[in-house]
Amino acid sequence: MEYLWIIPVAILVLILIFANLKIVPQTWEYVVERLGKYRTTWGAGLHLKAPFIDKITKKMTVKEQVLDTPPQPVITKDNVTMQIDTVVYYHIFDAKLFAYGAVDPILALANLTATTLRNIIGELSLDETLTSRDTINSKLTITLDEATDRWGIKVTRVELKNIMPPAEIRASMEKEMKAERDRRQTVLEAEGHRQAVITRAQGDKQAMVLEAEGERDARIARAEGEAKALLLAREAEANGLKALKEAGADEAVLELKRYEALIKISEGRASKIILPTDAVNIVKRNVVFSETTGLGDVTEAAPEEAKPKKADPCCD
């Protein structure tokens, strides 16, 4: 019976052990203090805390987080006041620095973002601010990342969410944009008209060139055809004369054949044929021979007219 007190003590010890067992989830870190002083940082897993003397003072996630700051009034280099809000992407890389580096690191990051943004925009004009988002984002990221290292915060990216110029500036910008669009439309219409005129002129030029080339090719084809026809006629004439010569025809016949060939060639055209003197003499001799002998004369003699009978005085 004297050992019965051990049982409740064991139960109490087990209760204390289980009560001080802590499971840290993935992507979370716990800052543990012992008697008010930093002791350690727990990562993901199972941990045992000393009862009554250890205390978990800070729980934080190491995942990337987003800080959406409200619109801040900033003044540009040319004294234009506009509203700009930013989005800061960050994560905690050192839980101890985050817990002890600043009273409220997130609030400090938001205020630092606003002041840094004012400094950067103050060096730019309105037009540069509207067209230099990437430059502003890069400068903000570098400046905030360097300043927040002692707080255990890593700034990975900063983006300008909205840039809102004053109403009168926006109205002027809209008018300027409309004028620019009208100018572009006019330029495009003029360019289209110019291209259409050029294209039409080029088409007419090509049509004229093709028509001239077609007419030239037709003339060449006709000339080649006439030359070939003339060549064939001359070849036929030469072949005929050669055949006559081989057959033993005399010179007069050959001259007549040449004369007939020239007549055939000149048919249908206003051609002038010049005959040599020998050919003329031969033709004359042939004509005289035909008239003398009557050979070759195919013209029928005209019938003789009936003579009227004289009156017979004795019988009338």
For residue 76, the domain's CATH number is: 3.30.479.30
Q: Amino acid letter at 101?
A: G
3-state secondary structure of 260: helix
Q: Is residue 315 part of a domain?
A: no
Nearest to 69 by CA among 81, 89, 86, 84: 86
Query: What is the pTM assigned to this prediction?
Result: 0.55
Residues 49 and 135 in one domain: no
Tell me what pLDDT residue 297 has: 47
pLDDT digits (tens, 9 = 90+) for 240-290: 667 766 766 556 665 666 666 666 665 555 455 555 555 555 555 554 444
In this structure, what token pair is assigned to residue 151? 């707080």
Residues 135 and 106 in one domain: yes
Q: Is residue 232 part of a domain?
A: no
Tell me what pLDDT residue 151 has: 92
Residues 189 and 160 in one domain: no
Residues 100 and 123 in one domain: yes
In this structure, what token pair is assigned to residue 2? 């004297």
Q: Is residue 241 part of a domain?
A: no
Measured CA to CA, the distance from residue 250 to residue 254 in angstroms comes to 7
Start-end of H helices in 162-246? 167-246
Residues 112 and 90 in one domain: yes
Measured CA to CA, the distance from residue 31 to residue 199 in angstroms comes to 79
Q: Which residue segment(s) compose the domain that 216 sits in?
A: 167-221
pLDDT digits (tens, 9 = 90+) for 2-59: 666 777 778 887 888 888 888 899 989 999 999 889 999 998 899 888 888 889 999 9
Measured CA to CA, the distance from residue 28 to residue 62 in angstroms comes to 6
Total structural domains in the chain? 4
Residues 123 and 212 in one domain: no
